[in-house]
């Protein structure tokens, strides 16, 4: 008798496709910050008039003797006023700055004033003051010269800093 052949039954399942070898997943990339720009970027001072408009109007008002209008219209509520060498003090807030102005005016008599400028930059402007003044508390009359640098933000003067010449000029 011939030997029986073993029958191979095919299973109903198909053979699974051979598996691909597992890949090493690279760690998730972190979002990179954009590289610093190599070129220039625009400079902005916020909304409202820019340094050129503020500078020309402030200078015109001061030349016309209208300092009160400058104070009312152009000083920001949070203005900072910094006095230069000799005083090296700062006042913050419109109320404090106006009190500083009134205190100076109470102790000084102005005989004449020349205003030069404005020199206008991207964030503000500068004015040069030459004043013939008598300090009432001492009776001393003297020439006074200073350069005021004003920073403009949102159409107002947000900061003023007064610079004085030192040494020979």
Domain ranges of the chain: 51-164
Q: Distance from CA of residue 27 to its chain's centroid?
A: 40
Whether a cis peptide bond, with omega within 30° of 0, leads into 113 is no
CA 140 to chain centre: 39
**CATH of segment(s) 51-164:** 3.10.450.50
Give CA 52 to chain center in angstroms: 16
Q: pTM of this prediction? A: 0.76
Query: What tens-digit pLDDT sequence spans the chain (169 residues)?
Result: 555 555 555 555 666 666 766 666 666 666 666 666 788 999 999 999 999 999 999 999 999 999 999 999 999 999 999 998 888 899 999 999 999 999 999 999 999 999 999 999 999 999 999 999 999 999 999 999 999 999 999 999 999 999 998 775 5
15-38: b or e for each residue (b if 16 or more CB lie within 10 Å)? Answer: eeeeeeeeeeeeeeeeeeeeeeee
């Amino acid at each position: 008798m011939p030997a029986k052949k073993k029958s191979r039954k095919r299973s109903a399942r198909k053979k699974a496709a051979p598996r691909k070898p597992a890949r090493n997943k690279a760690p998730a990339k972190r979002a990179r910050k954009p590289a610093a720009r190599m070129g220039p970027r625009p400079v902005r001072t916020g909304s409202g008039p820019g340094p050129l408009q503020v500078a020309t109007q402030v200078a015109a008002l001061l030349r016309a003797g209208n300092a009160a209008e400058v104070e009312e219209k152009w000083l920001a509520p949070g203005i900072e006023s910094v006095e230069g060498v000799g005083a090296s003090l700062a006042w913050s807030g419109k109320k404090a700055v106006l009190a500083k102005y009134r205190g100076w005016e109470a102790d000084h008599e102005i005989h004449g004033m020349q205003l030069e400028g404005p020199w206008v930059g991207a964030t503000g402007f500068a004015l040069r003051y030459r004043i013939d003044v008598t300090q009432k508390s001492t009776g001393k009359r003297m020439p006074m010269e200073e350069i005021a640098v004003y920073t403009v933000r949102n159409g107002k003067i947000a900061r003023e800093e007064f610079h004085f010449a030192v040494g020979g000029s």
